Amino acid sequence: MAGRLHAALMLAIVLAAGGCGRPQDDPRLVSLRSQIAALEQRKTLIEDTNAIERLQGAYGYYVDRGLWDEAANLFTNDGTIEMALDGVYAGKQRVREYLTALGGGRQGFAAGELDEHLQVMPVITVAADGLTAKARWRAIVLQGRQGADAFWGEGPYENEYVKEGGVWKIRTLHWYQALWVPYAGGWQNQPDPTLGKRVSATLPPDRPPSVEYKTWPETYVPPFSFPNPVAKYVATE
């Protein structure tokens, strides 16, 4: 639809210019050019938003299958990862080391292992220059081994992205562990046994956690990267 509208506007400019001695001064052409510029900007915004959704989707696909090298390659060379309260791991190689440690030190999963990351409810904000972006996602995690243990996980991502050479990459990936509990017994009855720390005891981070918070059954709502849509309702209560 955008392409057809663009063509129609261009045709209108040509037709209008044919009957005007100085088309650049014609207010109709000025208006049409403004519409075309706005349409081009919207088209680029949609393309960037779709590319970021595909990028995050690729990350989830690789993590679901334990393909840690492929997941790490989605980051910039100076990218960082921060999961729960393990701390910050800086640089693509450190991202790869962290993800591999999180996956038990090997690529892929054994038969009967499950590690599903559902990334839903994206809110993506692309900067005016079209070179950086922020996004918030809600992650729902199902992890376990057949005949052994199983866990529920849940929490938001607050990520940053950058466009390098026309390709979007992850610059910072930060997952807040709102919930991590055993499946057995029900999530509402048990605290988080990890206290937000999964591998940092054996793989020390480059920096401590950027935010300290208490884990389930305590709750923490991290800052939004966009205006909180319910803030005005909370303020009036």
More confident residue, 47 or 18: 47
Relative to beta strand 75-83, strand 167-175 is parallel
- Phi-psi region for residue 228, left (φ > 0), alpha (ψ -120 to 50) or beta? beta
Q: Dump pLDDT digits (tens) for 139-154.
A: 999 999 888 889 999 9
- pLDDT of residue 47 exceeding 80, the answer is yes
pLDDT band for position 24 (cuts 50, 70, 90):
low
**Distance of alpha carbon 191 from alpha carbon 31, whole angstroms:** 61
What would the two tokens of residue 156 be?
Answer: 């938001």
Between 18-32, 37-51, 121-135, 191-205, the lowest mean confidence (pLDDT) is in 18-32
Relative to beta strand 113-126, strand 75-83 is unpaired
Helices (H), the chain: 2-18, 27-64, 68-72, 92-102, 231-236
Domains of the chain: 2-236 (3.10.450.50)
* Residue carrying structure tokens 């529920």: 152
Q: Note the pTM of the prediction, 2 decimals.
A: 0.82
Q: Dump pLDDT digits (tens) for 77-114.
A: 999 999 999 999 999 999 999 999 999 898 888 888 88
Is the bond preceding residue 27 a cis peptide, omega within 30 degrees? no
Q: Mean pLDDT across the stretch 5-34? A: 60
- pLDDT of residue 12 exceeding 70, the answer is no
157 CB neighbour count, 10 Å cutoff: 21
DSSP tag of 207: B
**Which of 74, 171, 82 is CA-nearest to residue 132?**
171
pLDDT band for position 26 (cuts 50, 70, 90):
confident
- Helix axis angle, 2-18 to 27-64, nearest 10°: 160
Q: Dump pLDDT digits (tens) for 164-201.
A: 999 999 999 999 999 999 998 888 889 999 999 999 99
Q: Mean pLDDT across the stretch 54-82? A: 97
